[in-house]
Structure 1
Amino acid sequence: MNLSATSPGHDDLPSSDVDPFGHEVLEDPHPFHAELRESGPVVRLTGYDVYAMGRHEQVHAALTDWQNFESGAGVGLSNFRREKPWRPPSLLLEADPPRHDAPRAVLARILGPRALRRLRDAWFADAAALTEQVLRTGEFDAVTSLAEAFPLRVFPDAVGIPEDGRENLLPYGDHLFNAFGPPNDLVRQGNPRIAELSAWVDARCRPGMLDDDGFGAHIWRAAARGDITEAQAPLVVRSLLSAGVDTTVHGLAAVLHAFATHPEQWRRLRRDPSLARVAFDEAVRLESPVQTFFRTAVTDVPIGGTVVEEGSKVLLFLGAANRDPRRWEHPDTFDLARDPSGHVGFGMGIHQCVGQHVARLESEALLTALAERVERIEIAGPVVRHHNNTLRAWRSLPVRVHPA
C-alpha cells in the first residue's frame, strides 16, 4: 500500500496506488479504509484516475448532492456519457431527476408500510419453519441454509415470480455488482453466463410471468394507470430482482456472523427481541454489504479542500464511512446499544435503497425466529469470504447452534 502526499495536477492532494478491487483488499478492506480516511477527505486513486472519499462527512455529502454528483453516468467505474452500458441502466440506481422520479415514487408506494404489514405474518411463519428445519442438524452453513435460503424463499414470492429457476438470481446479482468495478477477473468469471442469466431475469419481468398479487404485477398496474410508461415497467421489476436479493443475503450473513462472534449481544437480543431491527442496521453499518458506489461530478465541485473536476468519477467508500471514528464511537465494535441511524450502508438521499424496509422485515423475521429457539450461536469452522467488486460477502459461514 502506497499513499503519497501529492497527485499530478493537485499539489496538495494525497494519492494512492492501491487497487481497491484487488483480492487482498476485497478479503480485508479495513486497513486500506483506515489509511484512506486518515490520508484526507479526498484522495486520488492513481490506478484508475478517479477521486475517492472514505470519511463519513464527505461520503454522506456526495450521496445526498445528486445535483453535483450524478448517478446517471453510472454508479460503477464505466462512464455512461462515453461508454455504452452492458445492459439498460437502472431507472432507480442509475438515473437522476426527473427520469428517476416516477419509477421511484411507484416503487416506494408498492414497497410501503401497507404491503409490508400484509407480508409480516407470512414471513414470520416462513422464518419459523426454516429455523425449525435447520435446527435439526445442529451444525450448518449459515450462508446457504439461512442467509440465502430465506430471501430466496420469501422475496421472489413477494415479487410474484415462479419458483423455477430462482437460483439464477444469485449469480445474476453477483455479476451485476461485479460489473460496477473494473473488467477484472471477477467480471470475466461471470461473462460466460450473463447473457443466459439476463434473458432469464428479463423474461420474469413480463406480465405473463408474474403473479397477480405480487410487487411485479402492481408495477405493471402503475404503468396501465400512466404513473410510469410500459417501457419503464419491466426495468422497474428488474431493479427488484437485481438488487433485492444479494444485498439482503449478505446483510443477513453479516448479522449472523456478528452474533456468532459477539455472544453477549446475542444474549441481549434474546432478552429483548425488539432489538432485531437495530441489530440488522448495526451489522449493515459494521460490515457494509454494499462497500462502494461511484458518482460523476456534473460540474467543478469544491469538496474537502480540493476541486473535483467536471466529468470526474468519484468512488465513495460506504464501508469506510460506516467505520469512520469521526462519526462513530468504537466503530469496529458490534453494539446493540448504539444508534446506527445515519449509516450509509443503504446509501443516502434520493437514491437511498428503496427496498431497505423489505430487507429489515426479512431480517426481523429471521432473527426473531432464531432468538426464540437458539440459546447460543458459535462459529464451527473456517469462515470463507466471497469476493465481489462491490459487495462484502461470505461464501461460507459454518455455525453450531445450541437450542434454547
Structure 2
Amino acid sequence: MKVIEHDVIVVGAGPGGSVCASYLAKAGVDVLLIDKETFPRDKPCADCQSRTSLKHIKELGAEEELAKYGLLKDGLIFISPDSNKCYIDVPDGYITPRWYFDNIMRKNAERLGAEVIENCWVYNVIKEDGYVRGVKAKYNGEKIELRSKIVIGADGSHSIVAQKIGQFPDEPDNLSIALRTYFENVPLLKDGYLEFHYGPVGIVGYLWICPADKKGNICNVGLGCNMADYQGFTFEEKFWEWARTSPYGKRFIPSKDNPCKQVAPWKGWRVPTGIQRMKNYDNGVMLIGDAGSVVVPFLDEGVGAASDSAKLAAEVAQEALNKNDFSCDVLKRYSVDWDKKYGDMYKTTKLAEGMLESPEVMNEFIDNMNTSVEFKKAFFDGLVRED
C-alpha cells in the first residue's frame, strides 16, 4: 500500500479546510489538503461570505480573485411574519456561488504552499497508541495511507473523521436542515440586499433570497428550519405555497410579463450548529467547520465560523508541532480558546433562535429593530466575532 507523509493533513477543501491549509502553508508548515471531489464543484449553501469570512479572505490574499466572481453586498432585509421590513446596512461581505468560492480558496491554499490532492476519499483514520496518525483513503482506485502528526477534519456535516473518532452528535434541537435552488431575473426589494423572510407559511425557520449580482439576475433561494421543528413537509411545496400566498412571493410566479424562473434543482444539507455537545479534538486530531459543529444558530452562518475555527486550529497545530506534542494536553487549547472567544455569542444566537417558534415574538423583534437604533446595534454587536 502506498504511504504518503506530511506534518499536517487537512481533510476537506471547503472554506474551512482551505483557510486552515492556507494559514499553515503561509507559516511554512508541511501541509496536505485533500478532498473527495474534483474542483470546481457545487456545494449546497446560501453562498454568503460575511464580514467574518472577508477578514480571512483579505488576510490570505484572496479578495482580488473573489471580487471577479462575487457580489459585494450592500446589506440585509429582515421581513417579519406580519410582512414588516427592517433594512440593515452591512456592506462588508460577498455573495459568491460555492462553485466559484471554494475553488478560489482551494487554489489560494495551493498558491501559499499547501499540497492539494483531489478525488481522494477518506474512509477511516489511522489510530496507533491512542493517537490519530493519519487517514486511510482511496485515490485513483487505489487504497493509500496518508500519515501525519496532526489530522484536521474539515470534511463537512457528515464528517468521516468526526465519526471515526466518536464525535458525531445528532441532537435534533441543535441541527438545522436547509434546501436551496437558483432563480434568474428575480425582482429584488432593494438592489444588492439579501432578504430573510421569517416564519414563511408556518415554517419555524426562514426563507432567504441571496442575489449573486445587484439586480437579481441570478439568486440563491432557499429555506431552513431547526430539525426538531421539521414535520416531514416538502420544502419545495412550502416554497411555492409561500410564492402563491405572500405579497413578497408572487414575483416568483412566472408569467408573460415576469421572466423570473427556476434554473437549478433543489439541493439540501444538514447544518450542525455550534451549540452541540461534543469534543472537537482528540490526540492527534482537531475538527473544524461543519465537522466541528461551529455553525452559528439563528443565522445558520457557516463559512465565517468555519474560517474562524480554521485559523485557531492552524495556530494550535503550529504550537503542537513546535512542542512535538500532539496530545490532548496541547490540542485542547483549540476548544478552550474557542469557548472563551465565542461561547457567549453562541449562547446569544441560540436564545435568538428560540424566537422563530413564535411569530408574535419575531414580529416584535423586527419592530424593535426598526424603532430603536440602540436595540439594532446591540443585537448585531453581539453577533460579530472579533479577534
Q: TM-score, normalised by structure 1?
A: 0.25
Select the structure with the greater relative contact order (CA < 8 A; seq sep ≥ 6): 1
Question: Could you say which structure has the higher strand fraction?
Answer: 2
Q: TM-score, normalised by structure 2?
A: 0.25
